Structure formats: C-alpha cells, structure tokens
Amino acid sequence: MVNINEHMPDQLDRLPNELKSEVAHYVTQLSERKALVLVNKAWAEIILPHLWNTLTTDLLQTGQRNVRGLAHANSNITKHVSRIHLLTRSCDTKVDHLPTLLAAIPRGQLRTFKSISTLQTSTINLLLLLHSNLEELELPLGQAFANAVQSEWTTGCFSNITSATVFVNTFSCEGLQKLWTECPKFTQLSLGATKNGAAILEDAFLSTHNECVGTTGNTGDATCSKAKHLGLRLAYLWLGGIALPV
C-alpha cells in the first residue's frame, strides 16, 4: 500500500509515465486515488481506469440527472467500468436506473456482475445481451435468473462465463441442461437447492457414467459425482443443501 501525503503527488509527478503506471497498481485507497487524479491530466488518465474499474453502488442515490451524466459520451466513469457490485436496494424503488447504467457501459466491456438484490428478468436479459463477455455472474437466488437462462433471447450469451451461482429449484431440467451446454468455460460453480432441487439436478446432468469431480463444500470434503458428458473442468464446486449420489 502506498501512503499519499501532502508532498507525495509533487514527487510522484516527476516519475516517467511507465513508473507512474506501476505506482498506480499499489495505490489502493480510494482517497489516495482521488488525490492523484487531481494532480494533473496525465495522472488522471493513469488513475481513472483503476479508480472506476469496479463500480460498487446501490443506485439509490443516483438520480435521473446523474444517470444521464453517466451515459454521456464524455463520461470518465462508465468507459472504465468492467466490474459491477450491486448492493442491497429497496424493493419499493420507483425507478430502476440499472438498465440505463448497463446500456451506458461500452458493449461487451463488463467482465463481472454481482448483485445482492433481486433483478427483473428483463434486466438480466439486457445484461446478458449487452455484455456477452461476462466471465463472473453472481445473482440472488430466484426465478428471474432461471427465466433468463431459459429464454431464447439469451442463447449464446453464456459462452465466456467461468463462475456463477445457481439455485437449482428455480430451473427446469431442460433449463439446467442448457446452462451446462452453454457454459463450457465453467471453473467455479456454486449450487444451492432443497431436496426437490437435488432430483432436478440429477435428472439434468447425472447418469450412470461415473466421473470424479473435486467438490469443495463447507467441510472441504471430496465427493465423487456422476457427471453426464458435460466436459466441465471445475476447479471449485460448492454444494449447498444438495446430497448427490455416489
């Protein structure tokens, strides 16, 4: 970690641009990054991609005027955002600014999207259609994600996803099979289900063909499951509330 005191910006400004870029990787505190942005235009161009690479927000304090500012062609924020962490939002929010934010970010730029709050199916569809290069997708347990996966509009939008959280009970057998087929790059998968969900999971991709899969749960035990010609190469598989046959 680099500590930025009142004299540090002047000293750092004398560095060549190559070294400035190296310094930027070690400046992790938000206040320190903002201090460097204000030094001059050269520092701003180097720091802004690090400052806005991850956008963490609940969008509750973002009014319509501010959203229009984000969507402006000259915005210094959205052109750098590749990760969105959406915090808890009120269920009675009258206006949802998330679709506008997703559309403002250059198409295909997002690599990570995490949300604590439930999203509408139409918003998830928009996310997948605009940002088909998503690698990490973490959404709350619910029907909306299952509906989006099983929609014909999202076919081909999951090919780059390597990490996801899936609640089995909200899927049909065909929906899970589509997810496995369209996510060949899965390396991390978190599955949650009730007893009924375990049966859906077995119907979707378990067969009598035995293949050992390294499974890490809360206890760190290894489990051998019966995987059905998926070709998945998982480095991490978390099972919550699921008892697979062995």
Q: Which band of pLDDT confidence, cut at 50, 70 and 90, is reported for residue 211?
A: very low
The Cα 175–Cα 172 span in angstroms is 5
pLDDT score at 217: 44
Q: What is the pLDDT of residues 25-54, one digit of tens each?
A: 787 777 777 787 877 788 888 888 888 888
Contact of 163 with 114, CB cutoff 8 Å: no
pLDDT score at 8: 57
Highest mean pLDDT among 91-100, 152-161, 171-180: 152-161
3-class secondary structure, 114: strand
Judged against a pLDDT cut of 90, whether residue 170 lies above it is answered with no
pLDDT score at 121: 86
Q: What is the pTM of this model?
A: 0.72
Q: Which amino acid is at 120?
A: Q
Q: Which band of pLDDT confidence, cut at 50, 70 and 90, is reported for residue 218?
A: very low
Closest CA to 225 of 93, 239, 15, 63: 239
Judged against a pLDDT cut of 90, whether residue 212 lies above it is answered with no
Contact of 64 with 97, CB cutoff 8 Å: yes
Judged against a pLDDT cut of 60, whether residue 4 lies above it is answered with no
Please tell me which residue, 220 or 20, carries the higher pLDDT value.
20
Phi and psi of 241, rounded to 5°? 75, 20
pLDDT score at 244: 52
